[in-house]
Structure 1
C-alpha cells in the first residue's frame, strides 16, 4: 500500500509554513553561526571499520581472485564464517597491539540483502548458506559489531537485481515515466522506488531481513550482546536522471517519485494535512474541486504551458534562492574564516563562511592545497516584491574589510509573467580593492535568471521527504519486532546540503535527518564535515543526542595528532561508532578483490587513504 505520513495535528496555516521550512533546507545560514553545545565525552565510541569480507568468505569467490588456500579453509571452517579474516584485518590495523587503546575496536559487517537470493525453479530463494556465514561471523569474532543491513540504489552485483529492475512497479518514476538503470562512475545505479512497500523490491528486502534476523536470533545471548547497532538499508533518498552529474541546479528539472502509488499517497497526505480542499486552495492559491484533482508540480513555466500555476516546479520554486560559489584566500589571518556578504538592492541580506568542501575545485586547482573553498547563502524570496533585483557580493577576507566580488541581476516573477521592472537601489557598503591573489567564482545565481514561487512545491517536497522516513521506519519496525529490539537502529544517510553546488531538494532527505522515535541518526561524512565545523554546527541544532558515523573519510591527509583530535571531537559530540572502509588483510597481505577507492589502506594513495590508515593505526596504538 502507498506509504502516507500521519497527520501533524497542527493548524492548517502552520502546515504550509512547516512545509516551506522543510523545503528551505536544513542548510540555512544560521546553522553555521550556532555554537556547539558542551556534551559529556563518550569514551566508548566504537571504531568499527567496514571490512570487505563478502567476496572471499561469504560469496566464497575463490577461483577468480587467487585467494590464499589457507584463507579459503579458514572461511569454510565451522560451518563458514568471515571471522578469521575480520580478526586478521583488525590486528593489522591495531599494529598487533590490541590493548590498551584509545577507543574500543570492533567492525561493521556489511550484509548485502539482495545478494542473499539465488535462483530457484519457482523464482528466487534465500541462500541460507550465505546467511549462516554472515551470522557465524558475529559468533566467531570476539569484538563488538555494527550490522549493516544494506540494499541501496548502488548495484550489489546480485543476480536478482536485473530481474527486479525489469518490473516498472519496482522503479522510481519521474514525470516522464519509470527510470531505468543508471551509472555512477564504475557502478550501476538501480533507481528503486520507495513510494510503496507493496512491490517486489520491498518484499524481497523484507524477506532477506527476516532471514538474517531469524538466524541471528539463534545465536547465544552472549553473541547477540556483541551487536552494538544495526544500520538500515544504506543511503536512501529520492533519485533523478543522470545521477552522477544531475545533483546540481542546471538542466531540466526531473525528480522522483511520480508513480501512481506516490501520486495517490500525495493526495491522501493533502487531505490529512489540510482537511478540506478549500483550505488547500486558499493557502496555495489554487482552484481545485477535490483532492483527487491535484497533480504534483511537474512542469517548468518557462518551457511549457501550464493548466494551473501550481503545476510549476524547478530547483527554486519552493522559495529559496541559493547564492553560492567558491573562494580561495591564501593569506587569511589566523583565527579568521573569510566570509561572503550578500546585499539585495543595497540592503544586507545574509552572509556565509567560506568553509564548505569543494573537491571539484581542488581537483581543478591542486595548487590551492585544500578543498574548503565553498560557500553558500540561501535567500528566502517568497515575500520579495516582483521585479528586477540586484544582488551584490562582497568578501570579508580581512576582519572588517570588504572587497566586492561582483553583482547579479535576477527577476522575481509574478504568476502572470509580467515584465519585471527595476527596483529602487540603496547605497552599498564601502569596499576596498580586491587582492589579486584571491581566486573566486560565483556559481549561482546566473545573470538575468528568473524565479517563481509556487506554494504547492514545498508541500510536495515535504511529502517526498516523509516518504524516505516512512520507508526506513517500515524496516525499523521489522527489526524492532525481533529478538534485537533492544539494539539501537541507525539510518545510513548523507548530507547533500553541505555541498554548496548540490540541490538538496532533489534528494528529499531532510525529514530522515530529524530525530525520530526508535531510530538514531547514522550519517556518512566526507571531506570538511568530518573535521570542520559544518556538521558540528548542524548537529547542535538538530536535536540529536547520539549518532553513528556510517562512513568516514576526510578526503585529505591527516597526521596522527590531527586524527586523534578529530576522533575525540566526534566522541565528545555523542558519536556511538565511527566506520570507514578497510580492505581485508590476510597474513599481512591485502586480499585480492574489487578494491574500494575510499578504503583506508596502506596501498591506496587515493584521497590520501594510505596516510589516513597509518594515522588511525597510530591513534589506536596510543593508550588512553
Structure 2
C-alpha cells in the first residue's frame, strides 16, 4: 500500500519559503524557478523527514500532487491561454521527488483560486443553479468554492478550459521518462463531483428547507431529453408516473414544496422525501458494547436492520465522553407503497436476547390531493418495551424524522433525483474518457468521490453522488473518508468493490491515538491501493488566509481534530 498525503504548497522550494520578502505563493514559485531551486522542494524535505530512508517495504510513503486545472492558464491579450510552463512545473515535481505519487487532476468546485476561475464565476453559464437562480460562490474552512456546472457540454466556457487542461496534462504525463512514470501510483479525476446546496460548510444535513441543483434552463432541457430517452412517449411516461403531461416539453423539474406553495400540478412537488424515502437516524454511544443489534420496525413488524458506525462529528465534538465520531445509526423507510395515513417507525436495540426501545416516530403518508387521512386506522406498534437508557452507560438520540412528519410521494421527483445523480456520473465519465483518449492507462484512473452514506446525519439527496461509485464503472473507485467510519468497508462490500483507493483520508479522532493507527491498518488489510491523508502543508505560516483555522492541516503542532495524532500515526505506519 502507498501512503500518499496531499501536500499543500507542492511547488514551493525551501529557500523561497525562507525569503520573507516574498508575499504570495505565486511570488515564491516564480522565485524558485528564476533561481533554479525547483529541485530543492519543501515537500521533499518534509517527506524525507517522515520516512528518512526513502520508500521501502510493504507500505511506502509518497505524496499526492494536486494539479488545479484552471490554474494552468494565463491571460494574454484579453484571452486565457494554456501555459505549458505552468503545467511543466507540476510535472517536474514528479522527477524532483523520487517517491510514489498520486496525480490529482482537479476540476471541481474547489478549483477556485486562479484569476481564470474568478472570471468564470461571473458567467451564469458556468454555474449550477437553484430553482431561484445561480448558486453563489462561498467558502469552506478558508477555501473558496465556485459551484461549477456538472453539464458536460464542451461549449460551456468552464468546460472548454478544464477539458483542455486535462487533455494537455494527460498528454504530458505520457511524455515523462520511464523512471518518473514508474512513480505514478494513480491519477484521480476531477475531485469531489456532486450537486450543490446552500451553506456549503454547515448545510450537509438540511432536510426541512432543502434546496438542490441543477435547475438551469439548459439542465432542465437535458432532464426532458433524458426522460424522452427513457420512456420514448409521453403516454408511457404518464402511465408509469401517474402524471398527465401533454408532451415532454410541458415537463418542469419539480421544485415547489406542497406545504408552502400552491401547485398547478402535484408533479411540481419537491422536498427531501418526495422521491419516496424517509430517513430515520440518530446516534448511539455504547462504550460497553452491550447492544448487539439495532433493528427497524414499521407498524409493529420487522422492516430491516439499521446501519451503525456512521460518522457523527457533531456528537463527537459536543460530548467529551464520546470517544469516537462513529456513533451514527441510520435506516431508510420506502413509503411509496404504504397506505395513506399514520404509520409508526421504531428503532429497537437487542442486548443479550432482550429488546429495548431506542426511539419511535409517527409519520403520515398524505395523498397527492392532500385529502384527510383521519379515516385511516391507527397503526400497530411494539409496546411494553423497556427504554434503552436502562442499559449501562448507553446514550442515544433520535434525530429524524421529526414527530408526525408528513410525506408525499411524487414519482417525477424520484426521476429528478436520479437525473441529478446521472449528471454527476456523466461528468466523471467525461473526465475518464478524455484521460483515456490522451493515453493514460485505465489502471491508473480513479474517481475522487465523497460518500455521503458514511455520514449519519448528511442528506444524500443534496449530493446525488452515490451512483458514481459502482463496480461497473470503467474507472477504479476512489472514496474520500473523513472520520474513518467502519461502514465504509460495508459500503464497498455492498457495492461489490474490491480494488479501491482513498484520495482523501482523515480519521479526525484526536481523542484516541490508537484509532488513527487502526484506520491505516484497516485499509491496508482491506487491500487499498493508496491512502492519501489530507493534508500536509509546506506553505509558510505568514501566507495563510486570515480565516484559516488549520482544519485538516496534519502537523505535530496542530491539535484540531487530532491533526497531531494523525501525523504521529502516519509516521508510525510508514516506518513500521
Tell me the TM-score normalised to structure 2 length. Answer: 0.90
* Cα distance, 1:366–1:193 mapped onto 2, change above 3 Å: same
CA deviations on 1:367-392 (whole Å, 9 max, x unpaired) are 22222221111011111000112333
Superposition map of 1:274-353 within 5 A = 274-333=231-290, 337=292, 339-353=293-307
Please state if 1:578 is matched with 2:531.
yes
Name the CA distance, whole Å, in 2 between partners of 1:83 and 1:289: 68
Instruction: Give SS of 1:367's match.
Output: coil
5+ residue gaps, structure 2: none
Contact between 1:488 and 1:518, CA under 8 Å: does it hold in 2? no
Please state if 1:207 is matched with 2:164.
yes
Number of the residue aligned with 1:526: 482
Name the CA distance, whole Å, in 2 between partners of 1:462 and 1:470: 12
Number of the residue aligned with 2:457: 501
Number of the residue aligned with 1:51: 7
Give the number of equivalent residue pairs. Answer: 564
Number of the residue aligned with 2:426: 470
Name the CA distance, whole Å, in 2 between partners of 1:203 and 1:186: 28
* Counterpart pick for 1:513 among 469, 481, 499: 469
Moved more, 204-213 or 75-84: 75-84
How much does 1:187 deviate?
A: 2.7
Instruction: Give SS of 2:309's match.
Output: coil
Please state if 1:607 is matched with 2:561.
yes
Instruction: Give SS of 1:580's match.
Output: strand
Moved more, 572-581 or 209-218: 209-218
* Cα distance, 1:219–1:467 mapped onto 2, change above 3 Å: same
Number of the residue aligned with 1:404: 357
Number of the residue aligned with 1:6: none
5+ residue gaps, structure 1: 1-44
Name the CA distance, whole Å, in 1 between partners of 2:473 and 2:109: 25
Please state if 1:385 is matched with 2:342.
no
* Counterpart pick for 2:137 among 175, 181, 185: 181
* Counterpart pick for 2:175 among 218, 241, 245: 218
Superposition map of 1:53-68 within 5 A = 53-54=9-10, 56-57=12-13, 63=20
Moved more, 419-428 or 468-477: 419-428
* Cα distance, 1:175–1:92 mapped onto 2, change above 3 Å: same
Contact between 2:9 and 2:538, CA under 8 Å: does it hold in 1? no
Instruction: Give SS of 1:370's match.
Output: coil
Please state if 1:432 is matched with 2:394.
no
Name the CA distance, whole Å, in 2 between partners of 1:72 and 1:126: 18
Name the CA distance, whole Å, in 2 between partners of 1:416 and 1:314: 16
Number of the residue aligned with 2:309: 355
Please state if 1:567 is matched with 2:520.
yes
| CA RMSD between the two structures | 2.8
Number of the residue aligned with 1:20: none
Moved more, 561-570 or 217-226: 561-570
How much does 1:535 deviate?
A: 0.9
Superposition map of 1:75-474 within 5 A = 75-76=32-33, 81=38, 84-94=41-51, 96-98=52-54, 100-154=56-110, 156-197=112-153, 198-333=155-290, 337=292, 339-396=293-350, 398-421=351-374, 422-426=376-380, 428=382, 430-435=384-389, 437-474=393-430
Instruction: Give SS of 1:418's match.
Output: coil
Tell me the TM-score normalised to structure 1 length. Answer: 0.84
Moved more, 403-412 or 496-505: 403-412
Number of the residue aligned with 1:37: none
How much does 1:265 deviate?
A: 1.1
Number of the residue aligned with 2:502: 549
Contact between 1:255 and 1:506, CA under 8 Å: does it hold in 2? yes
How much does 1:305 deviate?
A: 1.7
Name the CA distance, whole Å, in 1 between partners of 2:441 and 2:379: 61
Instruction: Give SS of 1:269's match.
Output: helix
Instruction: Give SS of 2:71's match.
Output: helix
* Cα distance, 1:478–1:298 mapped onto 2, change above 3 Å: same
Name the CA distance, whole Å, in 2 between partners of 1:380 and 1:508: 18
Instruction: Give SS of 1:279's match.
Output: helix
Contact between 2:344 and 2:361, CA under 8 Å: does it hold in 1? yes
* Cα distance, 1:172–1:402 mapped onto 2, change above 3 Å: same
How much does 1:84 deviate?
A: 3.3
